[in-house]
Structure 1
């Protein structure tokens, strides 16, 4: 039996940096979960915004009031931190990527089972308003425009400029692991099955997991009988931040664009272009975390994680890097 939470969910934020503060804003806005403490080796108690501050990790782990930890540490520290927290029987919510390979992920799930804890993979991009709208609108879109035949995702971030990696990207590992996990988690929230056919990388800045550019091709299908192919591009060298995904509906020669940067959805066909959806949120990343925080609350309250969802995403993402079949 897992650690279902039947009372106020007391969260500890492990890593109170850029992303940790977005979690804080989302939790305080919703007010269904409680920030019961902060742990971060790089700050002092005076920097914890009035939250309880743990001087050592052991103090946090041994606090019976804490039933769930949100892990916002640097990416290469996610796995070891998660394993230690799980060994104390506490649920974990882990920023993507949760792990750096499938061996780590399988060990993580085994540790969670042994200690009756939940694992929630925090794929924040899935909860961007335009993606959420598109996902819930698919039945109506099918009726009006037919089945989805293909997609194209382009994710650009200004992380490598003038031969130098910018500070915000120092712990992100590379364009495929960072943006690829966003793309794949989005696609798995729409389609039942994805098969990665090819994955190629451009230049790298430091070896393994440090690609600056990637292209991938894949096939998809789902229970709605959507089936087709898609291509993705992740780009850290464009000197701009721009993200979108196009879905084509060949039966009506229509294209629906999800503008992830503008939080809008538009359709284009032989009758012209039309705006289908526009979100009101000004802070795009906060909009992601507000949706994510609500999903985490519902999952923890019902005693469920998203372990299998994470397995699909990470198996597809990492298997090609290990020379394995991404769909085994």
Structure 2
């Protein structure tokens, strides 16, 4: 299958090897506004474009991966779907539900697939736990925390991260997608939310959302204020506590190592696992819609 990638920036670097090394795919064409990205295309023996519309017009691709900033997703995805290309979008897909519904309609009208990669769902540690979490009993509480070093010493968002649209949009959806692996997130009820903003760019650098679902307390915290890069989740049961260290791809049970699944770059593993399972006949529209509905509704 011929694959095109639009947007050869920071996150796209995590896609390249998983696609290139998978024998199912041919990393066929890359597109980026910056001419400097052409060097990457040479490394992977792929065609290079600076205009994605020209790439769509001239090249035959089975699907296109879009890894540009979220505020550009809708227009690019729309044009790809109109060209009858199967589309994979990096999360979050779009910044409002109207645009998301349009993309689904175009996908159906043109008989092509449309998917969004919620990459946390495909982490080694998450896939391992997804099949085993029921063995620990009923969940009582979940605390998911994301720390990223995206601000400078003045607590202003660094230029290269402004396109992420703030802490909640960038990582809240990762935590929500994780929850969706273990529970029906349509039942989430928002109790309280707290934000701290970088007023210079009017984006949040800290967000905390507290939910309840039946008798389960859930919190999601995303913090960009410190020079830390750590992602972890605590899941509390009646007797046991699971500590999921997403950064190190390990799980502790009651402070004892349960499993070590670290076999390489964390993000590359996410995309490797996703593309190994990718199929055009995806039936996850409900998941995509639900995750974005919560993400956008609870902003």
Shift of 1:202: 1.4
Distance 2:137 2:35 in 1: 54
Q: How does 1:104-115 map to 2 (within 5 A)?
A: 104-115=99-110
Structure 1 residue aligned with 2:153, among 162, 176, 181?
162
Shift of 1:46: 4.6
Offset from partner CA, 1:206-260 (integer Å, 9 cap, x none): 455x101011111236xxxxx512111110002211111111111xx21111011
Distance 1:22 1:233 in 2: 24
Shift of 1:66: 0.9
Given the alignment of the two structures, is residue 24 of structure 1 paired with residue 6 of structure 2, yes or no? no
Distance 1:107 1:169 in 2: 27
Report what 1:201 is aligned to: 195
Distance 2:196 2:237 in 1: 31
Report what 1:134 is aligned to: 129
Secondary structure, aligned partner of 2:210: strand
Shift of 1:112: 1.2
Question: Structure 1 length normalisation: TM-score?
Answer: 0.84
Secondary structure, aligned partner of 1:13: strand
Structure 1: state its 5+ residue gaps. Answer: 1-8, 222-226, 322-328
Distance 2:297 2:181 in 1: 20
Q: Say whether the 8 Å CA contact 1:87–1:115 is kept in structure 2.
A: yes
Shift of 1:304: 2.0
Report what 2:240 is aligned to: 254
Shift of 1:58: 2.9
Structure 2 residue aligned with 1:228, among 216, 226, 231?
216
Secondary structure, aligned partner of 1:282: coil
Shift of 1:152: 0.6
> CA 1:40–1:192 in 2, change beyond 3 Å: closer, same or farther?
same
Report what 1:4 is aligned to: none
Distance 1:174 1:124 in 2: 18
Distance 1:103 1:207 in 2: 25
Shift of 1:274: 1.9
Question: Structure 2 length normalisation: TM-score?
Answer: 0.92
Distance 1:25 1:305 in 2: 26
Structure 2 residue aligned with 1:287, among 249, 260, 269?
269
